[in-house]
Structure formats: structure tokens, C-alpha cells
């Protein structure tokens, strides 16, 4: 099926992304996985290549282009070589941290952090999840209490992507604990602040070279200039930006599924058994046909949602549908692709094995897929009640 999402500018950009990957990413993938950490030089190289902060206004060092299709090109190219960990880190930077600063930051906050994030000389993280509060953000316990003109941050976060490397962390905390969702605020926290402490670099099933950490805030004092957005509207600010995060996950899912299918198709016609390519057996061909059809449907779904996002018309419900269905589809496709590799699919030297482990987190983070179904179901119920 011909894909009409991309224009010539996107394909020209794809060529530059491939050149960057060939030089800076593929030679280092195995070492990064072994180390459990991506070199800071790779972040700086990505910044120099114009791959970070594409949507950031030019006055702050960005590409001044909010077209999400350029981000999808990056995801597809990273997935093509199995660089899912690097994709995860840069997605947090570009699709989570940077939009918060662009949309909500003061001029001083933008001037301090956006140029460095675009250059790759700074790495950002978003700290929402806590040991007792994952998809239910209203259950967080981290607090920020006023002390004169300052705020004192106390608490901890867990499962924070880029947590070890981060130079700046956007933190959600309760500023009026009795007020529920109306009593939360966001803060911009430099990682060199006294009272900021990193815990363990967590050992994960997949995305092995992307660092994920526990973070602790021990009586960390922040000035009033550290508030991001409006005091008391932190929960609302997060909810408003979740569609972008969920679209990032959906796009990652499709990119990774496309890569898995490409590897598998090649394997099936290179690998021989019983005197012929395994792709020539009817059972294999039927499986490949099913995967190809599922993938076409997923690509069409993503492309439609991407155009809606670019037009500012993608609803939270639409984003939940894309995140849930496409991340589930991704896991289904990768599982079937691994099966077609036989015993080789279980070997980590084959990219499909690493992709299988990397895929499992997508239905979990950004709000579990069960939460996505609840969002969709509530919308269905509300429409039924109002009609």
C-alpha cells in the first residue's frame, strides 16, 4: 500500500537521519546495551545534526517546525537498526520534556533550558510516577510546601526515563495536598540542586541501554521561579500534554513493527528448510500475509492520527485509541515475527529478540492500556447518556 503521509522534505530529512545513525548509533549499540547507558557524545551529536528540538522556536535554538511527521521519520529510522533505547530517550526529550517548557515555561526557563536541550548538551526527564502511583497520578505523595518565597520539595519518583543522565527534571508534586487534583503543581528542577539524589539505575527487561532511575528529593529548596505553569494546575497541565506523549508511543509502536516485519520477511526467504525457503511454505506465507495486512491497517490508523495532531484536532480519546491499539498490535506482530525466526529468534544477536523485549513496555507506560480503554469507555458512556 502506497504511503502518502510523507513529502519530499521528510524524505530528505530521512537521509540525514540515516547518515547520523550510521556514524553515531549503530557502531555503539552493543556497547550501550552492555553498559546500560548511552554516551553523552551521542546526545551532542544528535543536537548538532538537528535531531533534537525540531519543534522548538528558532529563537531558542530549535528547528521551528512542529510537524510531527519529522519525529516519525526519526522513530522509523531508529527502529530500523534496533536503536529502540536511543529512540526512547530522545522521545522523552522531544515529546515530553520540551513541549512542557515550550508551552508553559517562563522566558527565563526557556532561555536557560531549551537551547541546551536542543543542542544535546542537556538531557531532560519527566518525573510523574511514584512507587505507589503509576497510572493514577492523583495518588502521588511527593510534596512541595511553601517556605516564604521558596518551595521545599520532598519525596521520590520511580521508573524515570533518562533519570541517570538528566540535567533537568520536570517534577509533579502536591502543593496543596487536601485539594486533590486541584492541588498539584509542576516544577523545573536542575539535577545539581542540593537535595536532589539519584537512586538505582533500574535493571529492565528491555530498552537496556536507556537509563531508568529512582529519584529522591530531600528537602530540596526551589525558588518561586521554578514553578512551571500555574500553581495548582499541574495535574491539568499533565493531562493536556498526554495526547502528544501517547502519540509518541503509538508512532514508536508502528515504527518498531515495520522494522520487525522487514527483518522477518528477509529472514524467511534467506532461511531454508526441507529444500526450500521457509517463506515458500504456505503456513509461513499466510502468517506473513496476516502481519502485512495488520501492519497496513496500523500505519493507516497512525497516519490519520498524525494529521489530526498536526492540525491541533487530536482529542485525548483519539490519542488513547492510538496508543492502546497500536502498542497491542506491535506486541502481536513482534511475537509472530519472533516465532518465524525459530530458535534464532530467541538469540539476542538477532535484532528481533531485542525488539521483543523492548516492545513489552509500550502497553504499560504513558498510562497502561487498561487506562486507555477506560478513557475510551467513559467517552462512549458520556455520549450515550447525552444523546
- Give 325-341 pLDDT, tens digit per residue: 999 999 999 999 999 99
Same domain for 217 and 302, yes or no, is: no
DSSP 233: B
The percent of residues above 70 in pLDDT, for the chain, comes to 100
- Give the Cα separation of 368 and 323 in Å (integer): 9
DSSP 62: S
Query: Active-site residue among 48, 240, 245, 290?
Result: 245
Can you tell me which residue has the cell 547518515? 19
- Domain with 166 in it: what CATH number? 2.40.110.10
Same domain for 131 and 117, yes or no, is: no
Q: Is 245 a catalytic residue?
A: yes
Task: Write down which residue in 102, 122, 142 finishes a domain.
Answer: 122
Counting beta carbons within 10 angstroms of the beta carbon of residue 157, is it exposed (0 to 12), middle (13 to 18) or buried (19 or more)? buried
pLDDT in tens, 9-48: 999 999 999 999 999 999 999 999 999 999 999 999 999 9
Read off the pLDDT band of 1 (50, 70, 90): low
Q: CA of 1: how far to CAs of 24, 264, 305, 369, in Å?
A: 32, 19, 18, 28
> Between these two residues, 136 and 69, which has the higher pLDDT value?
69
Same domain for 103 and 139, yes or no, is: no
Task: Write down which residue in 205, 232, 259 finishes a domain.
Answer: 232
Does any domain span residue 1?
no
Average pLDDT for 129-141: 90
Same domain for 161 and 190, yes or no, is: yes
Predicted model pTM: 0.96
Q: Quick check: 359 and 206 in contact, CB under 8 A?
A: yes
Cα 318 → chain centroid: 17
Average pLDDT for 162-183: 96
Task: Write down which residue in 67, 102, 122 finishes a domain.
Answer: 122
Q: What is the DSSP string of 260-273?
A: HHHHHHHHHHH-EE
Does any domain span residue 2?
no
- With a cut of 90, say whether residue 370 has pLDDT above it: yes
Same domain for 228 and 142, yes or no, is: yes
The angle formed by the CA atoms of residues 309, 314 and 319, to the nearest 5 degrees, is: 100
Q: Cell numbers of 338, please?
A: 519472533
Does any domain span residue 3?
no
Does any domain span residue 175?
yes
Task: State whether residue 146 is helix, strand or coil.
Answer: strand
Beta bridge mates, 288 = none
Same domain for 187 and 218, yes or no, is: yes
Counting beta carbons within 10 angstroms of the beta carbon of residue 206, is it exposed (0 to 12), middle (13 to 18) or buried (19 or more)? middle
Q: Quick check: 128 and 256 in contact, CB under 8 A?
A: no
Cα 86 → chain centroid: 10
Other CB atoms within 10 Å distance of the CB of residue 304: 14
Q: Quick check: 251 and 306 in contact, CB under 8 A?
A: yes
Same domain for 83 and 196, yes or no, is: no
Q: Cell numbers of 85, please?
A: 533505547
Question: How many domains does the chain fold into?
Answer: 3
Does any domain span residue 328?
yes
Average pLDDT for 275-288: 97
Task: State whether residue 281 is helix, strand or coil.
Answer: coil
Same domain for 102 and 14, yes or no, is: yes
DSSP 99: H
DSSP 131: T
Other CB atoms within 10 Å distance of the CB of residue 332: 16
pLDDT in tens, 94-117: 999 999 999 999 999 999 999 999
Same domain for 284 and 301, yes or no, is: yes
- Domain with 80 in it: what CATH number? 1.10.540.10
Other CB atoms within 10 Å distance of the CB of residue 357: 16
DSSP 197: E
Q: In which domain, by residue range, is 98 found?
A: 8-122
> Would residue 366 be called left, alpha or beta, if left means φ above 0 and alpha means ψ between -120 and 50 degrees?
left
- What pLDDT score was predicted for residue 135? 83
- Domain with 357 in it: what CATH number? 1.20.140.10
| Residue 75 half-sphere exposure toward CB, CA atoms < 13 A | 23
Task: State whether residue 361 is helix, strand or coil.
Answer: coil
Pick the closest to residue 79 from 26, 10, 6, 3 (CA basis). Answer: 26
Q: Quick check: 219 and 150 in contact, CB under 8 A?
A: no
Same domain for 242 and 382, yes or no, is: yes
- Give the Cα separation of 39 and 31 in Å (integer): 10
Q: What is the mean pLDDT of the chain?
A: 97
The percent of residues above 90 in pLDDT, for the chain, comes to 97
Same domain for 168 and 243, yes or no, is: no
pLDDT in tens, 213-264: 999 999 999 999 999 999 999 999 999 999 999 999 999 999 999 999 999 9
Same domain for 148 and 87, yes or no, is: no
The angle formed by the CA atoms of residues 149, 150 and 151, to the nearest 5 degrees, is: 135
Q: Cell numbers of 304, please?
A: 490519520
Which secondary structure element, helix H or strand E, spans residue 318, and what is its range? helix 316-340
- Give the Cα separation of 199 and 157 in Å (integer): 10
Pick the closest to residue 259 from 327, 330, 332 (CA basis). Answer: 330
Amino acid at each position: 500500500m502506497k504511503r502518502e503521509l510523507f513529502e519530499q522534505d521528510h524524505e530528505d530529512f530521512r537521509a540525514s537521519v540515516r547518515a547520523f545513525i550510521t556514524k553515531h548509533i549503530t557502531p555503539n549499540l552493543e556497547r550501550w546495551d552492555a553498559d546500560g547507558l548511552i554516551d553523552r557524545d551521542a546526545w551532542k551529536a544528535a543536537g548538532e545534526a538537528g535531531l533534537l528540538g525540531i519543534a522548538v522556536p528558532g529563537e531558542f535554538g530549535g528547528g521551528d517546525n512542529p510537524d510531527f511527521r519529522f519525529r516519525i521519520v526519526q522513530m522509523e529510522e531508529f527502529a530500523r537498526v534496533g536503536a529502540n533505547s536511543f529512540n526512547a530517550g530522545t522521545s522523552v526529550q522531544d515529546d515530553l520534556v520540551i513541549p512542557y517548557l515550550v508551552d508553559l515555561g517562563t522566558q527565563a526557563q526557556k532561555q536557560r533550558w531549551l537551547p541546551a536541550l536542543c543542542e544535546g548538551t542537556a538531557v531532560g526527564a519527566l518525573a510523574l510516577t511514584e512507587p505507589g502511583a503509576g497510572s493514577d497520578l492523583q495518588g502521588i505523595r511527593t510534596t512541595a510546601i511553601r517556605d516564604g518565597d521558596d518551595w521545599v520539595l520532598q519525596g521520590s519518583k520511580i521508573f524515570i526515563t533518562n533519570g541517570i543522565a538528566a540535567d533537568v527534571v520536570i517534577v509533579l508534586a502536591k502543593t496543596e495536598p487536601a485539594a486533590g487534583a486541584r492541588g498539584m503543581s509542576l516544577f523545573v528542577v536542575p539535577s545539581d540542586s542540593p537535595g536532589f539524589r539519584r537512586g538505582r539505575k533500574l535493571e529492565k527487561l528491555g530498552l537496556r541501554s536507556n537509563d531508568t532511575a529512582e529519584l529522591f528529593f530531600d528537602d530540596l529548596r526551589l525558588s518561586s521561579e521554578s514553578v512551571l505553569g500555574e500553581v495548582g494546575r499541574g495535574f491539568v497541565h499533565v493531562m493536556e500534554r498526554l495526547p502528544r506523549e501517547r502519540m509518541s508511543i503509538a508512532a514508536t509502536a508502528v515504527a518498531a513493527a515495520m522494522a520487525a516485519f522487514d527483518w522477518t520477511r528477509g529472514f524467511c526467504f534467506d532461511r531454508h528448510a526441507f529444500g526450500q525457503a521457509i517463506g515458500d511454505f504456505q503456513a509461513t506465507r499466510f502468517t506473513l500475509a496476516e502481519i502485512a495486512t495488520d501492519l497496513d491497517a496500523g500505519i493507516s490508523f497512525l497516519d490519520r492520527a498524525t494529521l489530526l495532531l498536526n492540525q491541533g484536532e487530536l482529542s485525548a480519546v483519539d490519542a488513547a485509541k492510538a496508543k492502546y491499539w497500536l502498542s497491542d498490535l506491535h506486541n502481536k506482530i513482534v511475537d509472530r515475527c519472533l516465532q518465524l525466526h525459530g530458535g534464532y529468534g530467541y538469540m539476542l544477536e538477532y535484532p528481533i529478540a531485542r525488539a521483543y523485549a523492548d516492545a513489552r513496555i509500550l502497553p504499560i507506560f504513558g498510562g497502561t492500556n487498561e487506562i486507555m480503554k477506560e478513557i475510551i469507555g467513559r467517552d462512549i458512556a458520556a455520549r450515550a447518556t447525552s444523546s
